[in-house]
């Protein structure tokens, strides 16, 4: 294995340790693996298998026969490695269908055997990722186009997060499908995997479980008083967060399963973008050998843009993984006054900035609350992808990617890095110069089981703070690095036509 620089990172809420990070991603050494071992003398890892040969027509598979597709190669490689390792219980192995990778908890002896295998490209820690949470309509140019009809219609946005409250009135029945992936068994009934809208419901038992509902509202929420960026788009609710005690985190292996689910359902739901307001670790350069990269690349090849939050540590020379994957759009945060958010990570490869400070959106229980973080900036861009696609369905993913970067340049005074800021009117103007406007595509057909309808009860008379009693003090509360503000009537906020 390669020689690499040393950094310290924390495996969120499970254990802390020092690991060696390469300039790209953290491939494990024996010493690092030993530090990960739990009480049962095993540690969760992601095993990346060597890529298939470039030419498939005459290639022979690992067992000596012929194979005709990448899927065949992946299955053969996984089977051969399982045989070599003596793995017979496949219930504790995650096998990916579209990338040559597997996830499993392994012992020290198994790790040593994997390190010597000719089938294995690398072994990576199955890290846990934090939620990256710590008024914007005019800021991003939405007000100028809000009366136009497209609004994301005909497209869906996948929200890979802590789950979404599908019955929230802000979504108006537009949460059309979902799934849950949790290697620690945090899905419904203690399962490690579940499918359907109900499977994508919010996690429970931790303060941060509102997060996915808040993010989804920024993407596509809509009521009489405020709107998300793409208020006619559908939402795919993918819960990847496991709850341990009162803390939550998302394993890389579960995130990869969610990305693969999106890839397999991309045509069924006409997916425009994926939002991941999560991350972990610290990377000063791009990390294109990270296990998630292959799936993000597959989606990008299909014209689906993955949007990722940069992280909330206030670093000016690096971002969290998977935000360091270069084929994704990585987003920093701006405050309502247009200045950079002090918590927002940045580095030379940052793609964009968008509003992420004091964003008002949906929270659990049919309520609304305000939160700040790069978690709130990323869904502004994910929603913008669906919005732009609905105006220009013939636009390629690369052209949408380019259009998003046509906003006014913004220079971060902390490190003098200049990135575009999200501004929809500029994006639409660029697309108009290349494409003639066409009607939005027809909406994807919903799954056989209808999505839950919003509760018939009227809109709450007043916004309520996140997870605080109505008589609590107005001082903001910080949950896992996320700033949550009290929006009760006693703590009046400034009013605006549209807020997120």
From 431, 353, 356, 351, select the one nearest 388 (Cα to Cα).
431
Considering the candidates 150, 156, 182, 211, report the single residue annotated as catalytic.
211
Q: Would residue 181 be called left, alpha or beta, if left means φ above 0 and alpha means ψ between -120 and 50 degrees?
A: beta
Considering the candidates 136, 227, 375, 427, report the single residue annotated as catalytic.
375
DSSP state of 337: T
Contacts of 194 (CB under 8 A, 6+ apart): 179, 180, 187, 188
Rounded to whole angstroms, the Cα distance separating 438 from 421 reads: 26
161 in active site: yes
Lookup: tokens for 267: 């045509």
Lookup: tokens for 172: 């108006």
Ranges of beta strands (E only) in 278-389 are 278-283, 305-309, 319-321, 329-334, 352-355, 359-362, 368-372
Helix (H) or strand (E) segment spanning residue 397: helix 397-404
Contact at 8 Å (CB) between 7 and 282? yes
From 223, 221, 240, select the one nearest 232 (Cα to Cα).
221
Ranges of beta strands (E only) in 12-145 are 15-21, 43-49, 94-95, 101-106, 120-125, 128-131
In three-state secondary structure terms, 40 is: coil
Rounded to whole angstroms, the Cα distance separating 421 from 152 reads: 20
360 in active site: no
Considering the candidates 161, 254, 351, 412, report the single residue annotated as catalytic.
161
254 in active site: no
Contact at 8 Å (CB) between 25 and 289? yes
The set of catalytic residues is: 161, 211, 375
């Amino acid at each position: 294995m390669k020689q690499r620089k040393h950094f310290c990172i924390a495996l969120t809420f499970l254990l802390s340790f020092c690991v060696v990070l390469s300039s790209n991603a953290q491939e494990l050494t024996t010493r690092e693996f030993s530090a990960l071992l739990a009480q049962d003398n095993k540690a969760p890892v992601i095993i990346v298998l060597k890529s298939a040969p470039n030419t498939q027509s005459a290639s022979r598979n690992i067992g000596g026969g012929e194979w005709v597709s990448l899927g065949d190669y992946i299955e053969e490689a996984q089977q051969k490695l399982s045989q070599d390792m003596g793995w017979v219980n496949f219930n504790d192995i995650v096998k990916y269908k579209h990338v040559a990778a597997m996830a499993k908890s392994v012992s020290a002896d198994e790790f040593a055997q994997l390190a010597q295998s000719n089938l294995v490209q690398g072994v990576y820690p199955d890290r846990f990722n934090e939620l990256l949470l710590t008024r914007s309509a005019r800021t991003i140019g939405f007000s100028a186009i809000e009366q136009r009809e497209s609004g994301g219609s005909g497209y869906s946005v996948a929200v890979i997060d802590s789950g979404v409250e599908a019955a929230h009135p802000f979504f108006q029945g537009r949460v059309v499908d979902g799934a849950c992936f949790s290697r620690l068994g945090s899905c419904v009934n203690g399962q490690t995997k579940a499918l359907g809208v109900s499977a994508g419901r919010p996690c429970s038992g931790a303060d941060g479980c509102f997060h996915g509902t808040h993010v989804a509202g920024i993407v596509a929420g809509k009521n009489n008083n405020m709107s998300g960026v793409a208020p006619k788009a559908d939402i795919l609710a993918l819960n990847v967060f496991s709850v341990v005690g009162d803390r939550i985190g998302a394993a890389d292996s579960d995130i990869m399963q969610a990305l693969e689910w999106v890839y397999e359902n991309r045509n069924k739901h006409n997916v425009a973008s994926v939002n991941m307001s999560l991350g972990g670790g610290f990377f000063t350069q791009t990390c294109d050998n990270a296990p998630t990269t292959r799936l993000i690349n597959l989606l990008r090849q299909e014209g689906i843009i993955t949007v990722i939050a940069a992280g909330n540590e206030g670093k000016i020379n690096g971002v969290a993984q998977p935000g360091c994957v270069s084929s994704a759009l990585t987003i920093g945060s701006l405050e309502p006054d247009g200045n950079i958010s002090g918590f927002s990570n940045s580095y030379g490869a940052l793609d964009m900035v968008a509003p992420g400070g004091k964003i008002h959106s949906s929270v659990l229980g049919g309520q609304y609350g305000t939160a700040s973080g790069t978690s709130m900036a990323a869904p502004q861009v994910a929603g913008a992808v669906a919005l732009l696609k609905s105006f220009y369905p013939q636009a390629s993913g690369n052209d949408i990617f380019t259009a998003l970067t046509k906003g006014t340049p913004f220079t971060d005074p902390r490190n003098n890095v200049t990135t575009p800021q999200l501004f929809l009117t500029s994006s639409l103007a660029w697309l108009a110069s290349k494409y003639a406007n066409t009607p939005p595509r027809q909406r994807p057909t919903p799954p056989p089981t209808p999505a839950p309808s919003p509760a018939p009860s009227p809109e709450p008379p007043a916004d309520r703070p996140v997870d605080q009693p109505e008589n609590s003090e107005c001082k903001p509360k910080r949950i896992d690095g996320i700033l949550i503000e009290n929006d009760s009537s006693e703590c009046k906020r400034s009013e605006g036509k549209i807020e997120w």
